[in-house]
A = this chain, B = another copy of it.
Amino acid sequence: MTAAAIQARPVPSPRPTADQVREILIVDDHPLMCDALALTLKISFGLKNVRTARSLAAAVEQIRAQGAPDAVILDLNLPDARGAEGIVTLRRQLPDVPITMISADLEGAMISAAMAAGAQGYISKSLSREALVDSLRRMWEGEHVTPEGYCPELDGAEDQARAELARRFASLTPQQMKILRLICKGKANKEISYELSIAEATVKTHITAIMSKINARRRTQAVLLANSIRLFEAG
């Protein structure tokens, strides 16, 4: 559940409400996305003052010149600020303004980094207008909003799985490794037996052992697993 992802952070400044958001700043280097967001916000929230900036530097400068907006929507990938850097920078200038991250990338680690850096929420560019508007309203009322599938504990799980997988591959004997390499080149057992000058039956037993070690059932799965950790580059 996305709700209560981060419970009741004690906001020291006056608690904002969606009604109090009158001026907003969109920081995005995609002109089209910028326009689309601005248009949607104008229509859905009746906002008149939608400012835009195409880079982090431009945003900082604009805030100094024109003052602080009531909310910020920040693209994750800016030409001069990839990742969480944008949040950190803007929060220095605007400690009490909710900053919403928006990105096409839903990778868990990225979301975690953004939230940890102090974002009010993280939304996907793939959201429907309704869901987007709803998410923004909730954020502007103080809620921390993260995408559906996001589970903070899941973060390093992928890396862990990869490390575990690499460990399994490391347990292969030299002969097994040779055979696996040939499998990953699309060779048949008979071809492998010829190349290694052993009987086909022997190849099969090795393959059975390999499968068991890397936890695969079909040889195609073995190929996929090997490729997933780039075991044999090129080929």
When the two chains form their complex, are residues B29 and A186 in contact, meaning their CB atoms are under 8 A apart? no
Which of the four size classes fits the interface of chain A?
A: 20 to 34
Chain A to chain B: the 4 pairs with minimum beta-carbon distance, closest first: A36-B36, A186-B221, A32-B36, A186-B220
Q: Is A6 among interface residues, defined by CB-CB distance under 8 A?
A: no
Of A35, A77, A220, chain B has the most CB atoms within 10 Å of the CB of A220
When the two chains form their complex, are residues A32 and B33 in contact, meaning their CB atoms are under 8 A apart? yes
Q: Which of B30, B77, B126, B217 contacts A29 (CB 8 A)?
A: B126
When the two chains form their complex, are residues A40 and B32 in contact, meaning their CB atoms are under 8 A apart? yes
Instruction: Knowing A188-B218, A223-B223 are in contact, say whether A104-B30 is a contact too (CB < 8 A).
Output: yes
Q: Which of B29, B32, B223 contacts A220 (CB 8 A)?
A: B223
* Bound form: Cα–Cα A219–B227 in Å: 16
Q: Is A5 among interface residues, defined by CB-CB distance under 8 A?
A: no
Question: Which of chain A's residues 181-232 have a Cβ closer than 8 Å to chain B?
Answer: 183-186, 188, 216-221, 223-224, 227
In the complex, per-residue mask of A117-136: 1 if CB is within 8 Å of any chain B CB, else 0: 00000000111110010000
Question: Which of chain A's residues 71-111 have a Cβ closer than 8 Å to chain B?
Answer: 77, 104
The smallest C-beta distance from A183 to any residue of chain B, in angstroms, reads 7
Instruction: Knowing A125-B30, A223-B223 are in contact, say whether A218-B35 is a contact too (CB < 8 A).
Output: no
When the two chains form their complex, are residues B220 and A125 in contact, meaning their CB atoms are under 8 A apart? no
Cβ–Cβ < 8 Å partners of A39 in chain B: 35-36, 39
**CB closest chain-B residue, reference A35:** B36
**CB closest chain-B residue, reference A79:** B126
**CB closest chain-B residue, reference A102:** B32
Write 15 A-B pairs (CB below 8 A) sorted by A numbering.
Answer: A30-B126, A31-B127, A31-B128, A32-B40, A35-B36, A35-B40, A77-B104, A104-B104, A183-B220, A186-B216, A186-B218, A186-B220, A186-B221, A220-B223, A223-B223
